[in-house]
Amino acid sequence: MTEMPKNPEVDERIVKELQSIVGEKNATAAKHVRYAYSYDMSFVLPKMPDYVVMAETVEQIQNIMKFANKEKIPVVPFTAGTNIGGLCIPERGGILLDLKRMNKIIKIDAESHYAVVEPGVSHGQLAEALFEHKLRFGWPVGPPSASVSSCAINHGIGGLNARYGLNSQEITSMEVVLPTGELVRVGSCAIVEDAWHSTLPLPKLDGLFKGWLGSTGIVTKLGIAVHPIPPVLKVFTVSCNNVQDMYSYMNNLANYEICDDLTAVSWWLAQVPIPYPYREKPEDAPEWFSFANTNSFTEKEKEAREEIWQMVVDEEVKKGTSLKVTEYPEEALKARTQLPSQIVGSTKNYCKMAGAGISWPGTFTPANKWSPVYTEWKRILIEHKLSPSVRMSMYRGVHYGMLRAMIPFNKQIPEENENARHAIVECLKVDLDNGGIPYKPPVDFGHEINKRAHPGYIELLKRVKMMLDPNDIMNPGKLAI
Protein backbone atom coordinates (compact mmCIF):
# COMPACT_ATOMS: atom_id res chain seq x y z
CA MET A 1 0.00 0.00 0.00
CA THR A 2 1.13 3.54 -0.64
CA GLU A 3 1.85 5.79 2.31
CA MET A 4 0.85 9.42 2.72
CA PRO A 5 2.72 11.87 0.50
CA LYS A 6 6.29 12.34 1.73
CA ASN A 7 6.29 16.12 1.28
CA PRO A 8 4.27 17.41 4.29
CA GLU A 9 4.09 20.95 2.89
CA VAL A 10 2.42 19.80 -0.32
CA ASP A 11 0.14 17.50 1.65
CA GLU A 12 -0.93 20.21 4.07
CA ARG A 13 -1.51 22.73 1.31
CA ILE A 14 -3.78 20.36 -0.58
CA VAL A 15 -5.70 19.35 2.55
CA LYS A 16 -6.27 22.99 3.48
CA GLU A 17 -7.51 23.79 -0.02
CA LEU A 18 -9.93 20.87 0.04
CA GLN A 19 -11.11 21.83 3.53
CA SER A 20 -11.77 25.37 2.33
CA ILE A 21 -14.18 23.88 -0.22
CA VAL A 22 -16.08 21.29 1.88
CA GLY A 23 -15.34 22.28 5.49
CA GLU A 24 -12.64 21.16 7.91
CA LYS A 25 -14.43 17.96 8.99
CA ASN A 26 -15.04 16.77 5.45
CA ALA A 27 -11.51 16.55 4.02
CA THR A 28 -8.59 14.65 5.51
CA ALA A 29 -5.32 12.87 4.82
CA ALA A 30 -5.52 10.83 8.05
CA LYS A 31 -4.15 7.35 7.38
CA HIS A 32 -6.88 5.45 9.27
CA VAL A 33 -9.58 7.19 7.20
CA ARG A 34 -7.76 6.62 3.92
CA TYR A 35 -7.26 2.96 4.77
CA ALA A 36 -11.02 2.41 5.03
CA TYR A 37 -11.32 3.35 1.33
CA SER A 38 -8.34 1.31 0.12
CA TYR A 39 -10.02 -2.07 -0.40
CA ASP A 40 -13.26 -3.90 -1.14
CA MET A 41 -14.27 -7.58 -1.02
CA SER A 42 -12.81 -8.40 -4.45
CA PHE A 43 -9.46 -9.97 -5.38
CA VAL A 44 -8.17 -6.48 -6.34
CA LEU A 45 -5.19 -5.61 -4.12
CA PRO A 46 -5.65 -2.63 -1.74
CA LYS A 47 -4.32 0.78 -2.77
CA MET A 48 -4.48 3.92 -0.62
CA PRO A 49 -5.97 7.26 -1.69
CA ASP A 50 -3.97 10.28 -0.56
CA TYR A 51 -7.01 12.29 0.59
CA VAL A 52 -10.64 11.58 1.43
CA VAL A 53 -13.23 14.28 0.74
CA MET A 54 -16.98 14.27 1.38
CA ALA A 55 -18.95 16.69 -0.80
CA GLU A 56 -22.56 17.75 -0.32
CA THR A 57 -23.33 20.13 -3.19
CA VAL A 58 -22.81 20.39 -6.92
CA GLU A 59 -20.81 23.57 -6.42
CA GLN A 60 -18.42 21.81 -4.05
CA ILE A 61 -17.85 19.06 -6.59
CA GLN A 62 -17.19 21.63 -9.31
CA ASN A 63 -14.62 23.42 -7.15
CA ILE A 64 -12.94 20.14 -6.19
CA MET A 65 -12.66 19.10 -9.83
CA LYS A 66 -11.33 22.50 -10.92
CA PHE A 67 -8.68 22.34 -8.21
CA ALA A 68 -7.79 18.71 -8.92
CA ASN A 69 -7.58 19.37 -12.65
CA LYS A 70 -5.26 22.34 -12.11
CA GLU A 71 -3.04 20.31 -9.75
CA LYS A 72 -3.37 17.12 -11.86
CA ILE A 73 -4.54 15.12 -8.82
CA PRO A 74 -6.53 11.93 -9.59
CA VAL A 75 -10.13 11.81 -8.34
CA VAL A 76 -12.05 8.60 -7.63
CA PRO A 77 -15.84 8.96 -7.19
CA PHE A 78 -17.35 6.80 -4.44
CA THR A 79 -20.92 6.28 -3.23
CA ALA A 80 -21.88 3.31 -1.04
CA GLY A 81 -18.77 1.19 -1.66
CA THR A 82 -20.73 -2.02 -2.24
CA ASN A 83 -19.10 -2.85 -5.59
CA ILE A 84 -17.04 -6.05 -5.69
CA GLY A 85 -14.94 -5.26 -8.74
CA GLY A 86 -12.35 -2.89 -7.33
CA LEU A 87 -13.85 0.04 -9.25
CA CYS A 88 -13.32 2.52 -6.41
CA ILE A 89 -9.85 1.35 -5.39
CA PRO A 90 -7.49 4.15 -6.49
CA GLU A 91 -4.98 3.12 -9.14
CA ARG A 92 -2.87 6.25 -8.66
CA GLY A 93 -3.74 7.59 -5.21
CA GLY A 94 -5.25 11.07 -5.25
CA ILE A 95 -8.63 12.21 -3.92
CA LEU A 96 -11.29 9.70 -2.90
CA LEU A 97 -14.48 11.74 -3.40
CA ASP A 98 -17.23 10.27 -1.21
CA LEU A 99 -20.69 11.32 -2.40
CA LYS A 100 -22.92 9.67 0.20
CA ARG A 101 -23.90 13.02 1.76
CA MET A 102 -25.61 13.90 -1.54
CA ASN A 103 -28.62 11.76 -0.68
CA LYS A 104 -31.68 13.76 -1.68
CA ILE A 105 -34.58 12.39 -3.70
CA ILE A 106 -35.19 15.55 -5.67
CA LYS A 107 -38.41 14.59 -7.39
CA ILE A 108 -40.90 11.76 -7.82
CA ASP A 109 -43.33 12.38 -10.67
CA ALA A 110 -46.00 9.80 -9.87
CA GLU A 111 -48.03 10.77 -12.94
CA SER A 112 -45.27 10.64 -15.56
CA HIS A 113 -43.44 7.78 -13.80
CA TYR A 114 -39.95 9.09 -13.23
CA ALA A 115 -37.78 10.09 -10.30
CA VAL A 116 -34.72 12.33 -9.93
CA VAL A 117 -32.07 11.34 -7.38
CA GLU A 118 -28.66 12.41 -6.14
CA PRO A 119 -25.76 9.89 -6.19
CA GLY A 120 -25.97 9.05 -2.48
CA VAL A 121 -29.60 7.88 -2.63
CA SER A 122 -29.75 4.18 -1.73
CA HIS A 123 -32.01 1.50 -3.14
CA GLY A 124 -33.66 1.09 0.26
CA GLN A 125 -34.28 4.83 0.56
CA LEU A 126 -35.82 5.11 -2.90
CA ALA A 127 -37.87 1.93 -2.49
CA GLU A 128 -39.52 3.34 0.63
CA ALA A 129 -40.27 6.67 -1.05
CA LEU A 130 -41.66 5.06 -4.23
CA PHE A 131 -43.84 2.63 -2.30
CA GLU A 132 -45.90 5.55 -0.99
CA HIS A 133 -46.83 6.23 -4.63
CA LYS A 134 -47.34 2.51 -5.44
CA LEU A 135 -44.30 2.66 -7.72
CA ARG A 136 -41.18 0.52 -8.08
CA PHE A 137 -37.75 0.41 -9.69
CA GLY A 138 -35.45 -2.46 -10.75
CA TRP A 139 -33.95 -3.33 -7.38
CA PRO A 140 -30.80 -5.49 -7.60
CA VAL A 141 -30.24 -8.53 -5.42
CA GLY A 142 -27.74 -6.52 -3.45
CA PRO A 143 -27.59 -4.58 -0.20
CA PRO A 144 -30.31 -1.93 0.28
CA SER A 145 -27.49 0.55 1.03
CA ALA A 146 -26.18 0.36 -2.56
CA SER A 147 -26.41 3.51 -4.69
CA VAL A 148 -29.24 3.77 -7.24
CA SER A 149 -27.19 6.11 -9.42
CA SER A 150 -23.96 4.09 -9.43
CA CYS A 151 -25.82 0.87 -10.25
CA ALA A 152 -27.67 2.51 -13.15
CA ILE A 153 -24.77 4.33 -14.80
CA ASN A 154 -22.61 1.18 -14.62
CA HIS A 155 -25.21 -1.00 -16.40
CA GLY A 156 -26.31 -2.66 -13.17
CA ILE A 157 -28.96 -5.33 -13.10
CA GLY A 158 -32.27 -5.32 -11.28
CA GLY A 159 -35.37 -7.36 -10.61
CA LEU A 160 -37.25 -6.01 -13.65
CA ASN A 161 -34.64 -6.82 -16.30
CA ALA A 162 -36.78 -9.36 -18.15
CA ARG A 163 -39.50 -6.74 -18.60
CA TYR A 164 -37.73 -3.38 -18.85
CA GLY A 165 -34.05 -4.17 -19.41
CA LEU A 166 -31.00 -3.00 -17.48
CA ASN A 167 -31.15 -0.16 -14.97
CA SER A 168 -29.03 1.91 -17.37
CA GLN A 169 -31.83 1.57 -19.94
CA GLU A 170 -34.14 3.27 -17.43
CA ILE A 171 -32.09 6.50 -17.35
CA THR A 172 -34.14 9.48 -18.54
CA SER A 173 -31.74 12.43 -18.03
CA MET A 174 -28.66 13.38 -16.07
CA GLU A 175 -26.60 16.26 -14.71
CA VAL A 176 -22.82 15.77 -14.70
CA VAL A 177 -19.73 17.61 -13.46
CA LEU A 178 -16.95 17.08 -15.99
CA PRO A 179 -13.37 16.32 -14.89
CA THR A 180 -12.50 19.93 -15.71
CA GLY A 181 -15.27 21.24 -13.42
CA GLU A 182 -17.89 22.39 -15.93
CA LEU A 183 -21.50 21.44 -15.30
CA VAL A 184 -23.43 19.81 -18.15
CA ARG A 185 -26.86 18.29 -18.60
CA VAL A 186 -27.96 15.64 -21.09
CA GLY A 187 -31.46 14.54 -22.00
CA SER A 188 -34.63 16.59 -21.70
CA CYS A 189 -33.33 18.45 -18.62
CA ALA A 190 -30.69 20.01 -20.88
CA ILE A 191 -33.41 21.84 -22.79
CA VAL A 192 -35.95 22.54 -20.06
CA GLU A 193 -34.52 22.68 -16.54
CA ASP A 194 -37.33 20.80 -14.83
CA ALA A 195 -37.98 18.24 -17.60
CA TRP A 196 -36.38 14.90 -16.71
CA HIS A 197 -38.57 12.51 -18.70
CA SER A 198 -36.39 11.34 -21.62
CA THR A 199 -32.98 11.20 -23.29
CA LEU A 200 -34.75 11.03 -26.66
CA PRO A 201 -35.09 12.40 -29.33
CA LEU A 202 -31.86 14.27 -28.60
CA PRO A 203 -28.41 12.78 -29.31
CA LYS A 204 -27.74 10.11 -26.68
CA LEU A 205 -25.02 12.03 -24.89
CA ASP A 206 -25.78 10.14 -21.69
CA GLY A 207 -23.69 7.39 -23.29
CA LEU A 208 -20.61 9.50 -22.53
CA PHE A 209 -21.13 8.70 -18.85
CA LYS A 210 -22.69 5.20 -18.81
CA GLY A 211 -20.37 2.20 -18.56
CA TRP A 212 -17.24 4.38 -18.24
CA LEU A 213 -16.57 3.29 -14.63
CA GLY A 214 -16.55 6.84 -13.32
CA SER A 215 -13.77 7.93 -15.68
CA THR A 216 -15.57 10.69 -17.64
CA GLY A 217 -17.42 12.71 -15.02
CA ILE A 218 -19.45 12.73 -11.81
CA VAL A 219 -23.21 12.30 -12.18
CA THR A 220 -24.79 14.66 -9.63
CA LYS A 221 -28.45 14.18 -10.57
CA LEU A 222 -30.03 11.22 -12.34
CA GLY A 223 -33.48 10.82 -13.82
CA ILE A 224 -34.83 7.27 -13.91
CA ALA A 225 -38.06 5.67 -15.10
CA VAL A 226 -40.19 4.12 -12.35
CA HIS A 227 -43.18 1.83 -12.76
CA PRO A 228 -46.51 0.95 -11.16
CA ILE A 229 -46.57 -2.05 -8.82
CA PRO A 230 -48.98 -4.67 -10.17
CA PRO A 231 -50.71 -6.11 -7.07
CA VAL A 232 -50.93 -9.79 -8.09
CA LEU A 233 -47.68 -11.74 -7.73
CA LYS A 234 -47.04 -15.24 -9.04
CA VAL A 235 -43.63 -16.90 -8.97
CA PHE A 236 -43.03 -20.01 -11.07
CA THR A 237 -40.25 -22.30 -9.84
CA VAL A 238 -38.65 -25.33 -11.51
CA SER A 239 -35.48 -27.40 -11.24
CA CYS A 240 -33.31 -29.20 -13.81
CA ASN A 241 -30.44 -31.66 -13.56
CA ASN A 242 -28.21 -29.91 -16.10
CA VAL A 243 -27.57 -26.52 -17.62
CA GLN A 244 -28.79 -27.37 -21.13
CA ASP A 245 -32.23 -28.40 -19.88
CA MET A 246 -32.48 -25.22 -17.81
CA TYR A 247 -31.49 -23.07 -20.79
CA SER A 248 -34.11 -24.85 -22.94
CA TYR A 249 -36.84 -23.99 -20.40
CA MET A 250 -35.73 -20.39 -19.90
CA ASN A 251 -35.37 -19.78 -23.63
CA ASN A 252 -38.86 -21.19 -24.26
CA LEU A 253 -40.52 -19.18 -21.47
CA ALA A 254 -38.66 -15.95 -22.30
CA ASN A 255 -40.14 -15.96 -25.80
CA TYR A 256 -43.53 -15.01 -24.34
CA GLU A 257 -42.18 -12.03 -22.34
CA ILE A 258 -44.50 -12.59 -19.38
CA CYS A 259 -41.84 -12.34 -16.63
CA ASP A 260 -40.43 -9.39 -14.72
CA ASP A 261 -37.45 -11.51 -13.74
CA LEU A 262 -36.42 -14.87 -15.20
CA THR A 263 -33.39 -16.29 -13.42
CA ALA A 264 -31.73 -19.62 -12.66
CA VAL A 265 -29.04 -20.39 -10.10
CA SER A 266 -26.75 -23.40 -9.76
CA TRP A 267 -26.95 -25.61 -6.67
CA TRP A 268 -23.83 -23.96 -5.25
CA LEU A 269 -25.30 -20.46 -5.52
CA ALA A 270 -28.59 -21.68 -4.05
CA GLN A 271 -26.67 -22.47 -0.84
CA VAL A 272 -26.29 -19.45 1.46
CA PRO A 273 -23.47 -19.17 2.28
CA ILE A 274 -21.81 -20.49 -0.87
CA PRO A 275 -19.64 -23.55 -0.08
CA TYR A 276 -15.95 -22.69 0.30
CA PRO A 277 -13.80 -24.45 -0.61
CA TYR A 278 -15.67 -26.41 -3.30
CA ARG A 279 -17.78 -29.32 -2.18
CA GLU A 280 -19.63 -31.79 -4.34
CA LYS A 281 -23.34 -31.45 -4.92
CA PRO A 282 -25.41 -34.28 -3.39
CA GLU A 283 -26.20 -36.84 -6.10
CA ASP A 284 -29.97 -36.60 -5.60
CA ALA A 285 -30.06 -32.79 -5.78
CA PRO A 286 -30.85 -30.96 -9.03
CA GLU A 287 -28.00 -28.82 -10.35
CA TRP A 288 -30.20 -25.85 -11.34
CA PHE A 289 -33.16 -23.98 -9.84
CA SER A 290 -35.18 -21.28 -11.59
CA PHE A 291 -37.57 -18.60 -10.38
CA ALA A 292 -39.75 -16.62 -12.78
CA ASN A 293 -41.39 -13.59 -11.17
CA THR A 294 -44.61 -12.32 -12.77
CA ASN A 295 -46.73 -9.38 -11.66
CA SER A 296 -50.29 -8.86 -12.89
CA PHE A 297 -52.95 -6.21 -12.40
CA THR A 298 -55.86 -8.68 -12.28
CA GLU A 299 -56.47 -12.34 -11.46
CA LYS A 300 -57.40 -12.98 -15.08
CA GLU A 301 -54.08 -11.57 -16.25
CA LYS A 302 -52.31 -13.85 -13.75
CA GLU A 303 -54.30 -16.84 -15.02
CA ALA A 304 -53.23 -16.05 -18.59
CA ARG A 305 -49.60 -16.02 -17.50
CA GLU A 306 -50.12 -19.31 -15.66
CA GLU A 307 -51.60 -20.83 -18.84
CA ILE A 308 -48.53 -19.79 -20.87
CA TRP A 309 -46.15 -21.10 -18.21
CA GLN A 310 -47.94 -24.46 -18.01
CA MET A 311 -47.78 -24.75 -21.80
CA VAL A 312 -44.00 -24.22 -21.66
CA VAL A 313 -43.62 -26.82 -18.90
CA ASP A 314 -45.64 -29.36 -20.91
CA GLU A 315 -43.49 -28.71 -23.98
CA GLU A 316 -40.26 -29.21 -22.01
CA VAL A 317 -41.58 -32.45 -20.48
CA LYS A 318 -42.45 -33.74 -23.95
CA LYS A 319 -38.85 -33.04 -25.02
CA GLY A 320 -37.73 -35.47 -22.34
CA THR A 321 -35.76 -32.90 -20.33
CA SER A 322 -35.11 -33.23 -16.60
CA LEU A 323 -37.37 -30.28 -15.73
CA LYS A 324 -39.48 -30.61 -12.59
CA VAL A 325 -41.88 -28.13 -11.01
CA THR A 326 -40.65 -27.34 -7.50
CA GLU A 327 -41.79 -25.58 -4.37
CA TYR A 328 -39.57 -22.62 -3.50
CA PRO A 329 -38.96 -21.94 0.22
CA GLU A 330 -41.02 -18.99 1.48
CA GLU A 331 -38.01 -17.12 2.82
CA ALA A 332 -36.18 -17.52 -0.49
CA LEU A 333 -39.22 -16.21 -2.36
CA LYS A 334 -39.23 -13.11 -0.18
CA ALA A 335 -35.57 -12.59 -1.02
CA ARG A 336 -36.41 -12.58 -4.73
CA THR A 337 -39.64 -10.59 -4.71
CA GLN A 338 -39.41 -8.16 -1.78
CA LEU A 339 -36.39 -6.28 -3.01
CA PRO A 340 -34.23 -4.54 -1.88
CA SER A 341 -33.80 -7.63 0.30
CA GLN A 342 -32.35 -7.93 3.78
CA ILE A 343 -32.44 -11.72 3.49
CA VAL A 344 -29.86 -12.55 0.81
CA GLY A 345 -29.31 -8.98 -0.20
CA SER A 346 -25.79 -8.62 1.13
CA THR A 347 -22.72 -10.09 -0.51
CA LYS A 348 -21.43 -10.74 3.03
CA ASN A 349 -24.04 -13.49 3.40
CA TYR A 350 -22.63 -15.31 0.37
CA CYS A 351 -19.03 -15.52 1.59
CA LYS A 352 -19.37 -16.42 5.28
CA MET A 353 -17.56 -19.73 4.69
CA ALA A 354 -14.61 -17.87 3.13
CA GLY A 355 -12.44 -15.11 4.55
CA ALA A 356 -14.40 -11.97 3.59
CA GLY A 357 -13.53 -12.23 -0.09
CA ILE A 358 -15.92 -12.44 -3.02
CA SER A 359 -15.62 -11.51 -6.68
CA TRP A 360 -17.01 -12.51 -10.05
CA PRO A 361 -16.78 -12.98 -13.72
CA GLY A 362 -20.03 -11.06 -14.32
CA THR A 363 -20.97 -10.95 -17.97
CA PHE A 364 -23.61 -10.13 -20.56
CA THR A 365 -23.60 -13.21 -22.74
CA PRO A 366 -25.76 -14.49 -25.62
CA ALA A 367 -28.18 -16.91 -23.99
CA ASN A 368 -27.42 -19.68 -26.48
CA LYS A 369 -23.81 -19.66 -25.21
CA TRP A 370 -24.69 -20.14 -21.54
CA SER A 371 -24.44 -23.92 -21.61
CA PRO A 372 -20.94 -24.26 -23.19
CA VAL A 373 -19.57 -21.37 -21.12
CA TYR A 374 -20.94 -22.74 -17.85
CA THR A 375 -19.52 -26.18 -18.63
CA GLU A 376 -16.03 -24.68 -18.98
CA TRP A 377 -16.49 -22.40 -15.96
CA LYS A 378 -17.46 -25.39 -13.85
CA ARG A 379 -14.32 -27.27 -14.88
CA ILE A 380 -12.03 -24.30 -14.23
CA LEU A 381 -13.52 -23.40 -10.86
CA ILE A 382 -13.51 -26.96 -9.53
CA GLU A 383 -9.87 -27.32 -10.59
CA HIS A 384 -9.17 -24.26 -8.42
CA LYS A 385 -11.25 -25.76 -5.56
CA LEU A 386 -13.90 -23.04 -5.97
CA SER A 387 -17.65 -23.50 -6.18
CA PRO A 388 -19.31 -23.06 -9.61
CA SER A 389 -21.93 -20.76 -8.03
CA VAL A 390 -23.46 -19.35 -11.19
CA ARG A 391 -26.53 -17.29 -12.06
CA MET A 392 -28.24 -16.94 -15.45
CA SER A 393 -30.87 -14.22 -16.11
CA MET A 394 -32.76 -13.31 -19.26
CA TYR A 395 -32.95 -9.66 -20.41
CA ARG A 396 -35.87 -8.41 -22.47
CA GLY A 397 -36.73 -11.71 -24.08
CA VAL A 398 -34.14 -14.24 -25.31
CA HIS A 399 -31.58 -12.02 -27.05
CA TYR A 400 -28.95 -12.12 -24.31
CA GLY A 401 -28.65 -12.16 -20.57
CA MET A 402 -26.52 -12.14 -17.50
CA LEU A 403 -24.15 -15.02 -16.82
CA ARG A 404 -22.35 -14.51 -13.53
CA ALA A 405 -20.38 -16.57 -11.04
CA MET A 406 -20.18 -15.33 -7.44
CA ILE A 407 -16.86 -16.69 -6.17
CA PRO A 408 -16.07 -16.54 -2.43
CA PHE A 409 -12.46 -16.95 -1.32
CA ASN A 410 -10.26 -16.30 1.69
CA LYS A 411 -9.09 -12.73 1.17
CA GLN A 412 -6.89 -12.95 4.28
CA ILE A 413 -4.53 -15.46 2.64
CA PRO A 414 -2.64 -13.99 -0.36
CA GLU A 415 -2.28 -17.38 -2.09
CA GLU A 416 -6.02 -17.98 -1.96
CA ASN A 417 -6.76 -14.45 -3.16
CA GLU A 418 -4.41 -15.03 -6.12
CA ASN A 419 -5.92 -18.46 -6.81
CA ALA A 420 -9.36 -16.87 -7.09
CA ARG A 421 -8.06 -14.10 -9.34
CA HIS A 422 -6.47 -16.59 -11.74
CA ALA A 423 -9.60 -18.75 -11.84
CA ILE A 424 -11.91 -15.79 -12.44
CA VAL A 425 -9.73 -14.37 -15.24
CA GLU A 426 -9.57 -17.82 -16.86
CA CYS A 427 -13.38 -17.98 -16.76
CA LEU A 428 -13.56 -14.51 -18.24
CA LYS A 429 -11.40 -15.53 -21.21
CA VAL A 430 -13.78 -18.41 -21.96
CA ASP A 431 -16.74 -16.07 -21.93
CA LEU A 432 -15.04 -13.44 -24.10
CA ASP A 433 -14.21 -16.12 -26.66
CA ASN A 434 -17.93 -16.99 -26.78
CA GLY A 435 -19.08 -13.41 -27.37
CA GLY A 436 -19.78 -12.45 -23.78
CA ILE A 437 -18.81 -9.04 -22.39
CA PRO A 438 -17.97 -8.50 -18.69
CA TYR A 439 -19.76 -5.75 -16.78
CA LYS A 440 -18.32 -3.54 -14.03
CA PRO A 441 -14.94 -5.01 -15.01
CA PRO A 442 -11.88 -4.84 -12.74
CA VAL A 443 -8.68 -3.72 -14.48
CA ASP A 444 -7.63 -7.36 -14.99
CA PHE A 445 -10.81 -7.81 -17.05
CA GLY A 446 -10.20 -4.56 -18.91
CA HIS A 447 -6.87 -5.83 -20.21
CA GLU A 448 -8.52 -9.01 -21.52
CA ILE A 449 -11.31 -7.01 -23.17
CA ASN A 450 -8.88 -4.67 -24.89
CA LYS A 451 -6.73 -7.52 -26.21
CA ARG A 452 -9.72 -8.59 -28.30
CA ALA A 453 -11.07 -5.15 -29.17
CA HIS A 454 -11.14 -3.63 -32.63
CA PRO A 455 -8.36 -0.98 -32.81
CA GLY A 456 -10.87 1.64 -33.88
CA TYR A 457 -12.86 1.03 -30.69
CA ILE A 458 -9.79 1.55 -28.50
CA GLU A 459 -8.86 4.70 -30.40
CA LEU A 460 -12.37 6.08 -30.00
CA LEU A 461 -12.30 5.40 -26.25
CA LYS A 462 -9.02 7.29 -25.99
CA ARG A 463 -10.32 10.26 -27.97
CA VAL A 464 -13.48 10.59 -25.88
CA LYS A 465 -11.55 10.23 -22.65
CA MET A 466 -9.00 12.84 -23.73
CA MET A 467 -11.72 15.24 -24.84
CA LEU A 468 -13.56 15.09 -21.50
CA ASP A 469 -10.57 14.54 -19.21
CA PRO A 470 -7.46 16.10 -20.82
CA ASN A 471 -5.29 15.60 -17.73
CA ASP A 472 -6.46 12.00 -17.11
CA ILE A 473 -7.46 12.64 -13.50
CA MET A 474 -10.91 10.98 -13.43
CA ASN A 475 -10.61 7.48 -11.91
CA PRO A 476 -7.51 6.94 -14.08
CA GLY A 477 -6.41 3.47 -15.14
CA LYS A 478 -9.77 1.76 -14.76
CA LEU A 479 -10.39 1.47 -18.51
CA ALA A 480 -7.05 -0.32 -18.99
CA ILE A 481 -6.17 1.90 -21.95
pLDDT tens digits, residue range 91-137?
999 999 999 999 999 999 999 999 999 999 999 999 999 999 999 99
Q: Is 261 found in the same domain as 185?
A: no
Which pLDDT score is estimated for 289?
95
376 and 395 belong to one structural domain: yes
pLDDT digits (tens, 9 = 90+) for 19-68: 999 999 999 999 999 999 999 999 999 999 999 999 999 999 999 999 99
376 confidence band (pLDDT: 50, 70, 90): very high
- The residues near 20 (Cβ < 8 Å, ≥ 6 apart) are none
In a domain, 124, yes or no: yes
Query: How many C-beta atoms lie closer than 10 Å to residue 111's C-beta?
Result: 7
Q: Are residues 71 and 126 in the same domain?
A: no
Among 202, 228, 254, the domain-final residue is: 228
Q: CB neighbours of 169 closer than 8 A, spacing ≥ 6?
A: none
Q: Give CA 105 to chain center in angstroms.
A: 21
Q: Is residue 123 part of a domain?
A: yes
pLDDT confidence band for 335 (50 / 70 / 90) = low
Instruction: Supply the CATH number for residue 312's domain.
Output: 3.40.462.10
Q: Is the pLDDT of residue 342 over 60?
A: no
| pLDDT score of 396 more than 90 | no
Final residue belonging to a domain, choices 441, 459, 476: 441
Residues 236 and 370 in one domain: yes
Alpha-carbon span 358 to 377, nearest angstrom: 16
Handedness of CA 474, 171, 183, 49 (dihedral sign): negative
User: Which residues are within 8 A (CB) of 267 and not within 5 positions of it... i.e. 6 or more apart?
Assistant: 281, 285, 286, 287, 288, 289
Asked if the structure places residue 447 within a domain, the reply is no
407: left (phi over 0), alpha (psi -120 to 50) or beta: beta
User: Which of these ranges, 234-248, 303-317, 393-407, has the smallest mean pLDDT?
Assistant: 393-407
pLDDT reading at 346 higher than 60: no
Residue 481 in domain: no
Query: What CATH number is attached to the domain comprising 142?
Result: 3.30.465.10
Q: Cα separation of 171 and 52, whole Å?
A: 29
Is the same domain home to 299 and 420? Answer: yes
Residue 3: inside a domain: no
- Would residue 450 count as lying in a domain? no
Calpha distance 56→26 (Å, rounded): 10
Mind giving me the DSSP string for 191-257?
A: TSTT--S-S-SS--GGGGTSSSTTSS-EEEEEEEE-EE--SEEEEEEEEESSHHHHHHHHHHHHTT-
For residue 46, tell me if it sits in a domain.
yes
Report the pLDDT averaged over residues 278-302.
Answer: 96
> Do 166 and 286 fall within a single domain?
no
Nearest of 78, 150, 76 to residue 440 by alpha carbon:
150
Same domain for 63 and 180, yes or no, is no
Per the prediction, the chain carries an average pLDDT of 93
User: Can you give the pLDDT at residue 345?
Assistant: 47
**Inside any domain, residue 157:** yes
What pTM does this model have?
0.94
Q: Are residues 162 and 261 in the same domain?
A: no
- Indicate whether 398 and 314 sit together in one domain: yes
Residue 43's CATH number: 3.30.43.10
Note whether 17 and 34 are same-domain residues.
yes
Q: Which of 384, 182, 389, 151 is nearest to 266 (CA)?
A: 389
d(CA 294, CA 94): 46
Phi, psi dihedral angles at 29 (to 5 degrees)? -120, 15
pLDDT value at residue 348: 62
Q: 4 pLDDT exceeds 60? A: no
Quick one: pLDDT at residue 84?
A: 85
| Range(s) of the domain holding residue 392 | 232-441
- Nearest residue to 77 (alpha-carbon basis) of 69, 85, 67, 89: 89
In this structure, the answer to whether residues 67 and 183 fall within a common structural domain is no
Q: Minimal CA–CA distance to 177: which of 141, 214, 231, 143? A: 214
Q: What are phi and psi of 431, to 5 degrees?
A: -65, -45
Q: How confident is the model at residue 251 (pLDDT cuts 50, 70, 90)?
A: very high
Least trusted range by pLDDT, from 285-289, 395-399, 400-404, 457-461: 395-399
What stretch of H or E contains 69? helix 58-71
- Domains in the chain, number: 3
| pLDDT(79) > 50 | yes
Residues 313 and 435 in one domain: yes
pLDDT at 9: 42
Examine the fold and report which residue of 50, 66, 98 is the final residue of a domain before the chain moves on: 98
